[in-house]
Amino acid sequence: MDIDVNQLKEDWCGRQFDEVQIPVAAKEIVEFAQACGETAARFTDPSDPDFQAPPSYTSRFHGGRAMPKDFPIQSHQGFDAGKCVHVNGPLRAGDTVTARSEIHDIYTKTGRSGNMLFIVHRMTFTNQNEEPISVVDWRLVQNQVSRKSKREAGQS
């Protein structure tokens, strides 16, 4: 299956396809911070005057859909190639965040295993006042060479 990356980008990038609201609880912030090995009181002690979620907190969320409806590539056909979090402001207990999803970018690279297709799923987070909280880019990778069956590839 040949993929026209430029056409995919033109057809799918920059269009919001999902939106979810997520309440933020102090207990969940503390549990996440502790699981990450955080020790600073502003992330682990709800009584701290500057109590807030750790910078990577929004990376734990996902929307109702990983990919847009009718997107020609399914997320279960690839693997997670990591996340990048850009923090714009603090996320605090009691906030309700809105997360909006879009395909931000699609590109290819050649690695040791052949051609790889990268799909960047972007979630933009705002609080209940529409103030920006963070942007999380999640990269999904597919090995384009592995589309042949083992028999077609000469393997048994």
Given a cut of 50, whether residue 145 has pLDDT beyond it is: no
- DSSP calls for 30-60: HHHHHHTT---HHHH-TTSTT----TTGGGG
> Which pLDDT score, from 0 to 100, does residue 59 have?
95
Summarised one tens digit per residue, pLDDT across range 49-107 is 999 999 999 999 988 888 888 888 766 667 888 899 999 999 999 999 999 999 999 99
Cα separation, 22 vs 100, in Å, equals 11
Averaged confidence pLDDT in the chain:
88
Nearest to 119 by CA among 104, 106, 109, 137: 106
Which residue intervals of 57-150 are DSSP H helices?
none
Nearest to 65 by CA among 19, 119, 117: 19
> Which pLDDT score, from 0 to 100, does residue 85 have?
96
β-strand 96-111 against 16-23: which pairing, if any?
Answer: antiparallel
What domains can be seen in the chain, in order of their start residue? 5-145 (3.10.129.10)
